[in-house]
Amino acid sequence: MNNYQAPTRYIGKNSKYLDICPSTNSIAFEEAINGEIPEGFAWIAGHQTAGRGQRGNTWQAEPHQNLTLSILLRPSHALLEKQFFLSKAVANGILDGLEAWSRATQGENFNFEIKWPNDIYLDGVKLGGILIENNFQAGKWSFSIIGIGLNINQLNFEGIRGTSLRCYLELKDPISLPEVYNYISQGIENTYTLFKEGQFEKIDEHYHERLFRRQEWASYEAGNERFEGKILGVNEQGLLEIEKEFTVESYDLKEISFIFPS
């Protein structure tokens, strides 16, 4: 039975639940190319056997414990040069949804953050991630598949710097996955609307308010060099801007690594 039907206008309102599949992004991509799937349609998996993350990494999640899904968006080709603002808008929407869920169910806000480029953090530890894959047809931006993985009920994170909502909040009972899905669907719908309306300054401001390590000195590694730097922000091209001792440098995804205390 599919219990995933968000109370929204279109994001997450219609969906397909897959008890087990290799990757919701792969299935979503294939079905979006081959069929007339409406914008906002979502594919949710109880268990992904080959979930994908950034840098070609796999996404590890215990079966039926977490929220793993993909959402189809159809941005206007006119917005192509502002492509990274879609990533910022989606990240904002997920955090808005998580914050709304925490206020409604726990009575307080928690320290949800965005770790560049597309990780969701809770109090400095990874809670989930986003993987956006774009399709172009006849030179035009046809659609985007928004892959989302959020640790909700998983309790075991051996060898991984990760946490889940249930683990972090030390809850006895499991959290309702469809309930969290509803909140993040509403959040994404609101922030995606800002993207479509061209409200990039508002998106950018909201994104930087929750950017992990912004304006904090911390350790990084780039080009086999370890250094202390301070994140200033993320520019329109999606590059991470870091202040070093005598200069400001911009880094792409594969050019820099965050160093965490052992």
Please, which pLDDT band fits residue 106 given cuts at 50, 70 and 90?
very high
Q: 159 Cβ partners below 8 Å, 6+ apart?
A: none
Residue pLDDT, tens place only, 115-132? 999 999 999 999 999 999
Q: What mean pLDDT do residues 142-157 have? A: 95
d(CA 215, CA 95) in angstroms, rounded, equals 20
pTM (2 d.p.):
0.94
pLDDT of 220: 97
Q: 108 Cβ partners below 8 Å, 6+ apart?
A: 102
Q: Cα dihedral sign for 155, 158, 164, 170? A: positive
Neighbours of 195 (CB within 10 A): 24
pLDDT of 162: 92
Whats the size of the chain, residue-wise?
262
Q: 16 Cβ partners below 8 Å, 6+ apart?
A: 2, 41, 42, 43, 44
15-209 topology per CATH: BirA Bifunctional Protein; domain 2 (3.30.930)
Tokens (6 digits) for 13: 């309102």
Residue pLDDT, tens place only, 40-95? 999 999 998 876 554 444 455 788 999 999 999 999 999 999 999 999 999 999 99
Residue pLDDT, tens place only, 199-236? 999 999 999 999 999 999 999 999 999 999 999 999 98
pLDDT of 1: 64
Lowest mean pLDDT among 13-27, 38-52, 181-195, 201-215: 38-52
Per-position DSSP letters for 10-55, written without gaps between them: STTTSEEEESSBS-HHHHHHHHHHHS-PPTT-EEEES-BSS-B-GG
Contact status, residue 122 vs residue 136, Cβ threshold 8 Å:
no
Please, which pLDDT band fits residue 2 given cuts at 50, 70 and 90?
confident
